[in-house]
Amino acid sequence: MPDRRQDDKSLPNLATELWDLVRAYAKQETIEPIKGLGRFVAFGVAGSVLLGVGTVLLALAVLRALQSETGTFFDGNWSFAPYLLTLVVCVGVIGAAVSALRGKGTNP
């Protein structure tokens, strides 16, 4: 007697089961990992914003320290110097960040 497993399920039922299986697999492999990455993206964005605000506040602190703690040294014709020195510090921080990013990319 031949085995008749296909008599139990008709072609429309098999097609429906296949469609459900494909949808469940696609959900498992695409949507759920993206939802898991959302938390990491949120922490990354929040960290970037806080780091940016902190860097701006640090640059303002350097500027105000140069303006107030140097007495009359940067008065008159040298009033631009605190701004220039703050710009140099900011460029140095940017250079260090770029250097760190480039160094990170070359490591296997």
Q: Where are the beta strands (DSSP E) in 1-108?
A: none
- Does position 17 have pLDDT exceeding 70, yes or no? yes
Instruction: Name the more confident of 71 and 7.
Output: 71
Distance of alpha carbon 43 from alpha carbon 106, whole angstroms: 25
Give yes or no for a contact between 101 and 108, defined as CB atoms under 8 angstroms apart: no
- Does position 4 have pLDDT exceeding 70, yes or no? no
Which of 89, 19, 35, 33 has its CA nearest to residue 60?
Answer: 89
pLDDT bracket for residue 5 (50, 70, 90):
low
Distance of alpha carbon 60 from alpha carbon 9, whole angstroms: 74
Instruction: Name the more confident of 78 and 104.
Output: 78
